């Protein structure tokens, strides 16, 4: 989907002063808020921002003081995967 927004000239200039690439800045802001609110998954953020890896998403989120959701179940699953791989 392509989304177009109309900004008053002064608002656009203010955003250009903050972001070299206003389009990218808006996209990143949507991705951050979407992730924070639970509307977007890590995978959706990765695809939306055209990152190649989840680690790039992690770096992007950390840079913006947002951290990956990582539950005890996630930890247990990762630990089990690690044990299985070591056993091979």
List the one residue out of 45, 48, 83, 72 whose CA is nearest residue 61. 45
User: To the nearest 10°, the Cα dihedral for 28, 69, 55, 34?
Assistant: -20
Kindly state the DSSP code that residue 40 receives in the 8-state scheme. Answer: S
Distance CA 66, CA 53 (A): 17
pLDDT in tens, 28-72: 999 999 999 999 999 999 999 999 998 999 999 999 999 877 778
pTM comes to: 0.74
Give yes or no for residue 81 having a pLDDT over 90. Answer: no
User: Structural domain boundaries of the chain?
Assistant: 9-87
């Amino acid at each position: 989907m392509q989304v177009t927004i109309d900004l008053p000239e002064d608002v656009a200039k203010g955003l250009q002063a903050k972001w070299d690439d206003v389009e990218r800045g808006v996209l990143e802001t949507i991705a951050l808020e979407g992730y924070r609110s639970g509307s977007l998954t890590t995978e959706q953020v990765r695809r939306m921002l055209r990152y190649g890896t989840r680690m790039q998403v992690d770096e992007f989120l950390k840079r913006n003081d947002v951290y990956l959701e990582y539950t005890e179940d996630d930890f247990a699953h990762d630990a089990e995967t690690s044990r299985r791989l070591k056993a091979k």
